[in-house]
C-alpha cells in the first residue's frame, strides 16, 4: 500500500489544483487566462509542474505579494465586534427594545 502513496499524493494535488482553478474567479487569476491555466494543469499534472505552477504563480492569494499589507479584496479590514460602531449601535438598540418590551409586560 505504501508504494501507491506517491501516486495518490500527485493525483490529489492534481485534482486540487484543477478544481481550485475552476472555482477561482477570473479576476483573481494571474499570468494566463483561466483556460490557459486549466490546460497547463491538465497537460503537466503528472509531473507536478502544472499544479505547482498554478499554486505558486497562477492564483492571487491574500497576504502574499506586493499588496500583502492591503486590507482585503473588498477594501474593508476586519474589526472586532466590541470595536465596531455599527455592531455597538445595533446592540444598544436591541437592548433598548428588550427593556421596552419588559416594561410593557410588567405594566400589562
pTM of this structure:
0.56
Domain chopping of the chain, boundaries: 2-77, 79-108
Across the chain, how many H-helices and E-strands are there? 4, 0
Q: Are 65 and 57 in contact (CB under 8 A)?
A: no
- pLDDT tens for residues 17-48? 999 999 999 888 888 899 999 999 999 878 88
Q: What are the E-state strand segments in 1-108?
A: none
- pLDDT tens for residues 1-20? 789 998 999 999 999 999 99
Amino acid at each position: 500500500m505504501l508504494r501507491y502513496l506517491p501516486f495518490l499524493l500527485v493525483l490529489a494535488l492534481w485534482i486540487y489544483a484543477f478544481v481550485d482553478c475552476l472555482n477561482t474567479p477570473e479576476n483573481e487569476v494571474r499570468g494566463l487566462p483561466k483556460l490557459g491555466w486549466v490546460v497547463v494543469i491538465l497537460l503537466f499534472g503528472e509531473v507536478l509542474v502544472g499544479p505547482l505552477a498554478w499554486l505558486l504563480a497562477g492564483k492571487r492569494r491574500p497576504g502574499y505579494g506586493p499588496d500583502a499589507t492591503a486590507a482585503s479584496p473588498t477594501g474593508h479590514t476586519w474589526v472586532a465586534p466590541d470595536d465596531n460602531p455599527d455592531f455597538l449601535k445595533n446592540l444598544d438598540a436591541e437592548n433598548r427594545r428588550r427593556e421596552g418590551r419588559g416594561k410593557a409586560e410588567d405594566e400589562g
